[in-house]
Every structure is written in C-alpha cells, then in structure tokens.
Amino acid sequence: MYSEVVRDHFFNPQNFVSEAPKDYNGLGLVGSPACGDMMKVWLKVDPKTEKVKEFKWQTFGCASAIASTSMLSVMVTENGGLTIEAALKIRPQDILERLSGLPDRKVHCSVLGDKALQAAINDYFRRTSQQSRMKAEGSRVIDKVVGVTDKDIEQAVLAGARTLHELQEKTKVGTGEPNCLSEAEELLRFYLEKHEIY
C-alpha cells in the first residue's frame, strides 16, 4: 500500500521538531486539528541569497501527511537550499513523485505541505516588508454560523485579543458553532506567535 520511501519518511521523519524553533523568519499553518490533518512549518531564509536554509515542521495527521511533509522539507533544503522562487514552484505532484506515489485516497495529504510552504513564504515576505511579493491566500471559515474566518481571528489578535475570551468578545467565534472553539484557540496561539506577541 505504501512505498518504501513513504515508510522511511514516516518512521524516520526528516526535519521534524517537537518544540517550536526560536530562530526562523517564516511561519505557516494550514489545516485544522478538528477535522484531521494540520501542519505547521518554520522556515529560515537567508535574506542575501533568498535560499531556504532550514525547514522545520510539525504535523498532526496520518502517515501520508507525515511522509509528505518530511519529503517536502528535504526537497526544499537539499543541495544548499532552494531559492524562494524555486520552492514556490514545488507542486503536490512533485512530492508524490519523490515519495514513489501515495494511495489515491491519501493524495490530498501532499497538498497540505504545498499550502504550508506558501503560507510560510508569505510570512517571510511580510516580515521583510515585501508585501507586494505575497501571493493571495483564501480565507477559511472557522465558525460557519456567524461567518468568522481565520483572517478575522488574525485581525482580532492584531487588535489586542490575547485570550480565547477576548477573541470571542471581538469576533463572536464559537457563539454560532461551539465545536470550532478548539480550532479558534489553535489559530489564536498561531497568530500570537506569527506576530511575535508574547
């Protein structure tokens, strides 16, 4: 069912971290622990060469998601690291090819890595005042009843929300759909880290 390469990256994941690294300049988060796979990526980009020197990650998900992220981290950092532009050209099918394929029902797992990398590179552009180079990301609805998106949560953090209670006061997240509170809290922590608010 799984190739030898997939099994190796699952049992011996490359560049995985159990704790968030302190030295990075790009951070990306995609997925949701509430619905399954979630991925967090930290990049260290050399500002002079724009090469990705480090790609650290955490994934909450299945064997395919773990193997896909591990392989992506290798692809981006091997041979001295890809430039940002080259890294942005990596597609899910490139990851699948390096893994010698995944079962059809697991192909979506390779898409998460692609999106997390994009989000982390956008964060690098934001941190280095290169907003014009950022690629637009679609908003994801967190509370479908009251229409709160991940972007609304980020704005609330920038406007002063530090706790889940403060986030709910500003956005009403969870009042329509209480099941989304764990995801809202995860996003709150992510945006506090992203914007270096401690």
Catalytic residues: 35, 109
Give me the sign of the Cα torsion angle 165, 167, 169, 172. negative
Beta bridge partners of 56: 42
Find out whether 157 and 191 touch, Cβ atoms under 8 Å: yes
- Distance between CA atoms of 124 and 24, rounded to whole angstroms? 9
Nearest Cα to Cα of residue 75 among 61, 93, 90, 65: 90
Q: Which residue has the tokens 């002079």?
A: 48
Half-sphere exposure of 148 (CA within 13 A, CB side): 26
Find out whether 153 and 172 touch, Cβ atoms under 8 Å: no
Find out whether 62 and 152 touch, Cβ atoms under 8 Å: no
Give the list of residues 6+ apart from residue 153 with CB closer than 8 angstroms, or none: 142, 167, 171, 173, 184, 187, 188, 191
